Structure 1
Amino acid sequence: MIGVADHLAAVLDAVVPFAAEQRDVAAARGRVLRHPVFAGVDVPAFDCSAMDGFAVRDLTAPATLRVIADLPAGTDLDPRMDAGDAARIMTGAPVPTDATAIVPFEDTERGLAGGLDPVSVLAAPRGPGAHIRRRGSDVRAGELVVDAGSRLTAMRIGAIAASGIGTVSVSRAPRIAVVSTGSELVAPGSGLRRGQIPESNSVLLAGLAEEAGAEVVLRTSVGDDGDGPRQAIAAAEAAGADVVVFSGGVSAGAYEVVKNTLGDLMRFDRVRMQPGKPQGFGRTAGGILLFGLPGNPVSAAVSFELFVRPALRALEGDADLGRETVRVALAAGRRARPDRVQYVPVHLDRSDPARWTATPTAHGTRGLGEADGLAVIPPGEHDLVEGNEVTVTRW
């Protein structure tokens, strides 16, 4: 058997990241940035008001000031101001060059209701620069806004747009084909005869792929005889797939159709993990990545998380190939395996913010649906007991 890290390393060694493409920043959410973004302008671009109120100069309160101007956001006015003058100003408007502070409406006698009449100030600003956002106080032109390898969230594309950048260099979404194997499989909702089961793995794996940011271009199933896997690869290639994921047909039985038909394209290993020991991986002459995952749904899901998901992210040039992990106390003991690492679906109890606990869910697909993540139980000679801390990969 080989280690989990060794199998993942072989997968990532075969990944060739996509070429970058230019995209409007408004259409880039969810994509991975391939080149760093530097601010095109100072943010803010000028000294601006952080409050609705009055711009003042060298004020000592209480005082009554004459209002000489009205400055909404977007104005280009820069009125001259002397001591004793005030300019009504709205949030985001340029602060007059002569002004030294902003007095919020709340610190005046009549506030907004006073209009442009003389304003009585009740409390002086706390000091020079009060409620003024200085030019470049957020970011200066030329400074880094978002680094390469970052997945673009709404917050990040907002920051990029605010810094004056309209287009970004990103990776497209990986295109994936999902193929379930097994002559016993029928469509969910169909009538079952003896020996048949609903086909669920393609639904599960396609959903995981989409959650990882991939585009599913083919979802199908093939039987345990014939040349179905090779035909599926041809269909996936025609659909423009970058990755083909098979579930089932990779173990040690007599009807392992992926293993029996794709030995020239894929390597099949036993990996020191539970579940998911049988794994297959390869690449076509055209560069399509081929994954062979076990057919058990939990094994398939765990294998996807450990090997397929990092490969999808690596294709995009993502700097972070993993998920968030936390250290959590086990709510129940767990038997250790001396020869392999275990990945256990768990439910996280977060009712006590100071001490989360992880409870293994029921075996099978129902338990997988109840899980918040995977607890990693390292190999060892000593079993874990309640209260022992483990690493949990959060979903």
Structure 2
Amino acid sequence: MHRIAVEDYAAIIRELLEPLRNRLDEPVPLALAAGRVTAGEVLSPIDLPIFRNSQMDGYAVRAADLRELPVLLPVVGEIAAGARAPDALPAGSAVAIMTGAPVPRGADAVVPIEDTRMIDGSVEIARGREAGEFVREPGSDISAGAVLLPAGLRLASRHLAALAAANLIDVAVRSRVRVAVVSTGNELVPPGTPLDSGRLPDANGIALAAATSAAGADVVDVQLAGDDPARLRAVFDRAIASGAELILTSGGISMGAHEPVRQLLEPLGATVGTVDMQPGGPQAYARYRGIPVVCFPGNPVSSQLSFALFVAPVLRELAAQTPAVRTTRPLAGPLRSVAGRRQFLRGRLTGDGSVETVAGPGSHLVAGLAAADLLIDVPAEVTALPQGAAVDTVDL
């Protein structure tokens, strides 16, 4: 792969991941459905409301009995929420009723309790009511068979409320993309391991797994694979056995002698090359046993930026998440950039809406990345910009 533009490489990765759209749906209980994406339209199985019920605490009446005001109507009973269908309301009477309680046959209006006065077992009403006032009719919210929720909707609590109100216990959702994360390099050890000379904690495994989850996918495996191509093959096979539909790797794609990702995948048709960006220039992609593999550089900043630019947009789209914000903002101070290479500098938003850089361009500056909340996209031909200059930014 010759040096390729960022946008062109993003399009290549999008095409590589396109088959992930064609996956089976799965039913999940409502209690586990928050954040999931509806697989198709959800039709309401019932009318909502289910039955005629009161919108207020008050008195159910016949509107025709309120023509001459004030009127004193005998109260013939009380209907609480949860009561079975009550008897019909006799003409010339009222029944006390609670919010949500079934309205009896014959009654066609509810008078709020604050608009009434009790006098010796009767209720005095001084204001007329139209038929239908404060009465919720069946199907007035939605009718049985109508679309309750559209396809492709990311479920929030308000959607789950509607599903539960419609007496549903589960919902068909898109299955989440299952992802395995593999870090390569003999120098890497799990965080918390005593660090001998030359050993480094693996930052990529935990970070890429977290980024994957945040993008709406499921992480099924996180592994360290060292520098042995044979071990890497075994790790890939294990990931596929765990159900992985996508494998993300970090490290092992440069031109050195110990590049296990390159050594394993190039004979299988992998494309390895350079994207016109810094950090994150070395990139690769392949298919292993039909599973897409996206290969990032080993430096933690490079792998995080690569994921954010090339993989996260696709996963977020599949999970019906909003895209990362891309917008133009003014610089809080002057900026300098390396000539001849498109830079993605780490920055953060200030209180006045401008952006400032928080670290140098190095791909090893993980503390600088932690302090950032956006990337500043600096074109290859730009070497310096003054305070107040407009720059393109990508929120992290």
Verify same fold: TM over 0.5: yes
Q: Which has the larger radius of gyration?
A: 2
Corresponding residue for 2:43?
38
Corresponding residue to 1:5 among 4, 7, 27 = 7
Corresponding residue for 1:80?
89
**2:288 is the alignment partner of 1:284:** yes
Matches for 1:111-130 after TM superposition, within 5 Å:
117-121=121-125, 129-130=132-133
CA 1:91/1:246 → structure 2, altered by over 3 Å: closer, same or farther? same
Corresponding residue for 1:365?
366
Supply the distance in 2 between the matched residues of 1:389 and 1:91 (Cα, whole angstroms).
57
1:188 touches 1:199 (CA, 8 Å); kept in 2?
yes
Supply the distance in 2 between the matched residues of 1:392 and 1:139 (Cα, whole angstroms).
43
Corresponding residue for 1:174?
177
Supply the distance in 2 between the matched residues of 1:387 and 1:80 (Cα, whole angstroms).
74
Corresponding residue for 2:101?
93
Corresponding residue for 1:106?
114
Cα deviation for residue 267 of structure 1 reads 1.3
Supply the distance in 2 between the matched residues of 1:168 and 1:122 (Cα, whole angstroms).
49
Corresponding residue to 2:77 among 69, 73, 92 = 69
Supply the distance in 2 between the matched residues of 1:81 and 1:324 (Cα, whole angstroms).
63
**One-letter amino acid matched to 1:192:** L
CA 1:311/1:67 → structure 2, altered by over 3 Å: closer, same or farther? same
Matches for 1:258-277 after TM superposition, within 5 Å:
258-265=261-268, 266-277=270-281
Cα deviation for residue 292 of structure 1 reads 0.5
Cα deviation for residue 201 of structure 1 reads 0.9
CA 1:67/1:375 → structure 2, altered by over 3 Å: closer, same or farther? farther
**One-letter amino acid matched to 2:212:** A
Name the SS of the counterpart of 2:267 in structure 1.
coil
Q: Deviations over 1:2-32 (max 9, x none)?
A: 2333223222323322112333444433332
**One-letter amino acid matched to 1:271:** V
**One-letter amino acid matched to 2:99:** T
Matches for 1:156-305 after TM superposition, within 5 Å:
156-265=159-268, 266-285=270-289, 287-305=290-308
Name the SS of the counterpart of 1:76 in structure 2.
coil
Shifted more, 181-190 versus 335-344: the winner is: 335-344
Q: Deviations over 1:312-340 (max 9, x none)?
A: 456xx545573455665543444577866
Name the SS of the counterpart of 1:195 in structure 2.
coil
In the superposition, the TM-score normalised over structure 2's length comes to 0.81
1:69 touches 1:79 (CA, 8 Å); kept in 2?
no
Shifted more, 358-367 versus 213-222: the winner is: 358-367
Q: Deviations over 1:45-74 (max 9, x none)?
A: 234322222233434765543222322223
Gaps of 5+ in 1: none
Q: Deviations over 1:135-187 (max 9, x none)?
A: 33332333322222223333323322323444432233332221112222222
- How high is the sequence identity, in percent, across the aligned residues? 38
Corresponding residue for 1:14?
16
1:180 touches 1:248 (CA, 8 Å); kept in 2?
yes
**One-letter amino acid matched to 2:153:** S
1:180 touches 1:202 (CA, 8 Å); kept in 2?
yes
CA 1:263/1:7 → structure 2, altered by over 3 Å: closer, same or farther? same
CA 1:41/1:342 → structure 2, altered by over 3 Å: closer, same or farther? farther
Supply the distance in 2 between the matched residues of 1:374 and 1:36 (Cα, whole angstroms).
37
Supply the distance in 1 between the matched residues of 2:186 and 2:209 (Cα, whole angstroms).
20
Supply the distance in 2 between the matched residues of 1:262 and 1:336 (Cα, whole angstroms).
34
Cα deviation for residue 208 of structure 1 reads 1.6
Shifted more, 37-46 versus 100-109: the winner is: 100-109
How many pairs are equivalent?
A: 382
Supply the distance in 2 between the matched residues of 1:226 and 1:132 (Cα, whole angstroms).
72
Gaps of 5+ in 2: none
Cα deviation for residue 92 of structure 1 reads 1.8
CA 1:184/1:53 → structure 2, altered by over 3 Å: closer, same or farther? same
**One-letter amino acid matched to 1:371:** A
CA 1:228/1:162 → structure 2, altered by over 3 Å: closer, same or farther? same
Supply the distance in 2 between the matched residues of 1:14 and 1:373 (Cα, whole angstroms).
26
Q: Deviations over 1:75-118 (max 9, x none)?
A: 32253254x533222222233454444333333447xxx9x932
Supply the distance in 2 between the matched residues of 1:237 and 1:130 (Cα, whole angstroms).
61
Name the SS of the counterpart of 1:291 in structure 2.
strand
